Amino acid sequence: MAQPQSEKRSTRRFSLELPIKLVDQAREITTAQTRDVSSRGVYIYLESEIAKGSPLDFVMTLPTEITLSDPIRVHCYGRVLRVEKQNDRQGVAVSIDRYDFMSEE
């Protein structure tokens, strides 16, 4: 009988379906949606192809439930850790290497 795997995550995940904007090398913008978010990573659903190890930079707005105040826009920089094919889209696990809070415009 297989042994259950222990939880490897060191930070709390929030199950949030948030729209995000991905920015690629050519500064093209694509939209995607999160499944869950933590301070060190995010799981997103993408309709376009992306490879494991690819750099990824995206902007998301954290809602009041997370910030406990006003919503906050965050520009995140990370790398694709895992890609899972799911019908017409991909599930993508992304580590967040760094992030910057954005001012409201």
Question: What domains sit in the chain, N to C, each tagged with a CATH number?
Answer: 14-101 (2.40.10.220)
Which range in 44-48, 67-71, 92-96 is most confidently predicted, on average pLDDT? Answer: 92-96
Per-residue pLDDT for 8 more than 60?
no
pLDDT confidence of residue 45: 93
pLDDT band at 26, cuts 50/70/90? low
CA distances from 103 to 19, 28, 29, 41, 61 (A): 18, 21, 19, 22, 11
Instruction: Say what the pTM is.
Output: 0.80
Please tell me which residue, 6 or 92, carries the higher pLDDT value.
Answer: 92
pLDDT value at residue 80: 94
Q: How far is CA 90 from the centre of its chain?
A: 13
Name the phi and psi angles at 104, rounded to 5.
Answer: -75, 135
> For residue 46, what are the contacts with CB-CB under 8 A and spacing of at least 6?
22, 30, 32, 89, 90, 92
Cα four-point dihedral sign 4, 66, 15, 40: negative
Residue 7 has pLDDT above 60, yes or no: no
